Amino acid sequence: MAEGMRKVYLDHAAATPILPEALEAMLPYLKDVFGNPTCLHSWGDGPRDAMEESRVRVAALIGASADGIIFTASGSEANNLAIKGIAFAKQTQGKHIVISAVEHFSVLQSCKRLERWGFETTLVPVDKYGMVDPQDVAKSIRKDTILVSVMHANSEVGTIQPIKEIAALVKNTGAAFHTDAVATAGAVPVDVKEMGVDALSLAANKFYGPKGAGALWLRRGVPVIPQVDGGVQEGGRRAGTDNVPGIVGMGKAAEIAAVDLKRRMEHMVPLRDQLIKGLSERIGQVVFTGHPTQRLPDTASFCVRFVEGEAMLMHLDMLGIAASSGSSCTSRALKASHVLIAMGLSHEIAQGSLLLTVGKDTQPDDVYYAIEALPPIVDRLRKMSPLHTKFIKEQGEVR
């Protein structure tokens, strides 16, 4: 990217810029207020009080009680603790777990790990929009099912799942219900009581807090076995010296997100819709992915036929535009997204995935810049694509 070039950041699904207020709140705990919150002397008092205040703020963002919040280092760790921790705690009741086919890899691979220890996983399919049918979840539950996990929303395609309906069907089955809300907490209204879930994961870097701070909320009475042993931190549920600055930054970002949520959504939805409309009108052979209405307010996702997603990203970056192709956790894997494959797309189409996510500070001019920049890139790449050449030739022969 050339120096002085316009910069447009449309990859908020991967990371959001930290709020100045969150950074300012963190600074004292990186300098003078450095004590360990587990210590009994006065140097531990300030950090400990700050952590508990942050616990209240994070809990308030999701309509939860503070005593259910377990701070972690990321959303992925929160998912690992939920899946493995609850499964091990309930294994005397059964060893069957139900998850959706579009879960984040931190859930999918946690289940794979559990399978090596004798657990069994059932994958619930999704429709062409990436949506889970609650009845499919209900049909997958058995007498030995101890845990069900369905993400609140998928960050690759933006589809928001009917969590409340699923929770109602899981209730009274004996299984705990976990939802990965990393993509939604701080982005759309999230209330654990209204949703009816037993456990929920979230991460600070998704709502303008610092990286390296996440949390798992557990409903009172839901058992969990720690996955990090060796200390009494987080009520004995997660050992290790507390990341006090990160937790404080997460708490401040959560407090601000709760207040600004409606305004942020109202700002982002028109920009998201303009991206979807503008790119769909200007580029042929584009497959829009995700649910058309039940979707995250910031997410515009496509598959551009005859072009690889990585090639589009590199050309966009040369024009100062940051975007993504699938999940940030798999963007360097150069493989077709398991989410898109589960939605019924072919590997050839899925390889052309493009994800553009706006933020609270994105402006209309940023969106227009991206809409104008991408079509020439696609045209240039398609001229080098043998698949596109073959398609054009076949179209000509049909005519």
Positions marked active-site: 329
Q: Which stretches within the chain are classed as H helix?
A: 20-26, 45-61, 75-89, 105-115, 134-140, 163-170, 192-195, 233-236, 244-282, 309-318, 338-342, 347-350, 364-383, 386-398
Instruction: Identify which of 75, 255, 257, 96 has the alpha carbon closest to the alpha carbon of residue 179.
Output: 75
Instruction: Identify which of 74, 26, 7, 8 has the alpha carbon closest to the alpha carbon of residue 359.
Output: 8
Instruction: Identify which of 16, 326, 348 has the alpha carbon closest to the alpha carbon of residue 157.
Output: 326
Identify the burial level of 120 via C-beta atoms within 10 angstroms of its C-beta, where 0-12 means exposed, 13-18 middle and 19 or more buried.
middle
Give every strand in the sheet of 299-304, ordered side by side: 286-288, 299-304, 353-357
Evaluate whether 243 touches 326 at the Cβ level (below 8 Å): no
Please state, in angstroms and rounded to a whole number, the distance separating the CA atoms of residues 98 and 80.
15
Instruction: Identify which of 187, 186, 169, 189 has the alpha carbon closest to the alpha carbon of residue 177.
Output: 169
- The 8-class DSSP code of residue 255 comes to H
Instruction: Identify which of 217, 252, 216 has the alpha carbon closest to the alpha carbon of residue 29.
Output: 252
Residue 63 backbone zone (phi > 0: left; psi -120 to 50: alpha; other: beta): left
